[in-house]
Structure 1
């Protein structure tokens, strides 16, 4: 009886704590891109919030190649980019899950364009590379997503009181 009660109490908050998971990216992590692209996309297993979503694309020359704002459509995050030159790129991202928790990560890819497709223009001069501590990404941590922890803690506390009461009632 007590085991069933504890299992029931613990099962409720676990469903609320499921975070969004990154399913795929375009370009694919570790891929070599041989044609021009105009955006980087991240696809998640569930919709993510537009607010606080940030994607920073850093590339050759120590510059940020992100262009414009992130656009979230359901579970797909779109980050436009300046024309990418041949070289290595790192994508740092942070989104807010449907449950209110920030989720973040990074991946890299390489661009290897034929000389005829190499862009003549890139990001504006003086566009410094951004890092995960960049203010735009740091803003993504301000989600106010403490409610799942408070809810889970409250449910656990109530469960502990119920279990203690049942255990005390069974004593002779």
Structure 2
């Protein structure tokens, strides 16, 4: 089930496609061609289906004035149909189209009827403002970074992290914070791209961000659908992670947690006494000092060095053996790492003689 949810996450969250931009294949007339008669239509054909951007598609006369014409896209072709017969001179045709991958493509050609004009205007270049491009790139970084980070974190939680680690409250808190930040970044980028991509396609400036005509068109375009899919994919991934992070999803009990501090454990070992002091007594690396005394309080030297181990039953962690080193008569020390908080079991095996090896266990709460 988790695999299916992660697959759905990747399919839904990966924005955009790997398609190439539209490329101009041909024009009729050709660029620079001189025609004996005025053409009824002018066409520009691309290698894939395109749509017209609202601005940048026009037919200009030698003086740079707009020639009235019907301009429309038909599959992969832009068709210009002048309202009246073109007079003698040089004309400019410009286009700005949107390819299947949402990228705008602009360009133009010139052609002449009868003979070229003594002078003509350059092909106009309809491009988006610098601010729009900077904001769009920033939003793309947020979206891609958030999506990839979110997917990577989800994969780590579902397939890499040990089940016992996933059940840790501290781990769940860290994952939840990172997950929320990445999801917020991805969604923020996706939402910001809805108007920014439209401005970029139209070759408009950031000043048109609040134009009344911008938002209806932007909300019906591909980036808006991508943002909706992103939100749906995020919900699917959150469901998967919630199922695999029960501690993160469960409410925290309103009971005070024990404060950190040295922990002292005592246990009877046959007719003797073992005392263990764990400091600093909190999650992480701790020092454990062990002292053994007999019934009269005299330091006890066992038949061999005692054996120490720790385990965390609730998460099925351990037992982990911790070697003890001798520091004096009947005294020992060890370094013990408690990676998770909870109630740990400390087990001590003391071999008092060839035939007697009592085993004692004590519980210690590590906050």
TM-score by length of 2: 0.31
1:62 aligns with 2:64: yes
SS in 2 for 1:83: coil
Higher relative contact order (CA 8 A, sep 6+): 1
Distance 1:23 1:61, change over 3 A: closer
- 1:5 corresponds in structure 2 to 8
Q: Distance in 2 between matches of 1:155 and 1:72?
A: 28
Q: Do 1:91 and 1:107's aligned partners in 2 also have CA atoms closer than 8 Å?
A: yes
Aligned residue pairs: how many? 146
Q: Distance in 1 between matches of 2:50 and 2:105?
A: 15
1:146 aligns with 2:219: yes
In the TM superposition, what are the counterparts of 1:10-159 in structure 2 within 5 Å?
10=13, 14=16, 21=22, 23-24=24-25, 25-28=27-30, 31-36=31-36, 37-38=38-39, 39-44=41-46, 45-46=48-49, 48=51, 55-64=57-66, 66-81=67-82, 82-86=86-90, 89-94=91-96, 103=104, 105-109=106-110, 111=112, 117-118=114-115, 144-147=217-220, 148-159=222-233
SS in 2 for 1:91: strand
1:171 aligns with 2:245: yes
Output the aligned Cα RMSD: 4.4
Distance 1:26 1:56, change over 3 A: same
Q: Distance in 1 between matches of 2:223 and 2:116?
A: 48
Task: Report the Cα offset of residue 152 of structure 1.
Answer: 1.6
Spell out, residue by residue over 1:14-47, the C-alpha distance to the aligned partner (whole angstroms, 9 max, x if none): 46xx89835333234xx32132451321224226
Structure 1 residue runs without a partner (length 5+): 121-129
- 2:336 corresponds in structure 1 to none
Q: Do 1:95 and 1:103's aligned partners in 2 also have CA atoms closer than 8 Å?
A: yes
Q: Distance in 1 between matches of 2:24 and 2:115?
A: 30
Q: Distance in 2 between matches of 1:58 and 1:131?
A: 13
Q: Distance in 2 between matches of 1:69 and 1:27?
A: 17
Q: Distance in 2 between matches of 1:105 and 1:170?
A: 49
TM-score by length of 1: 0.56
Structure 2 residue runs without a partner (length 5+): 118-123, 128-202, 205-212, 247-367
- 2:235 corresponds in structure 1 to 161
Spell out, residue by residue over 1:110-135, the C-alpha distance to the aligned partner (whole angstroms, 9 max, x if none): 54x7xxx3389xxxxxxxxx9859xx
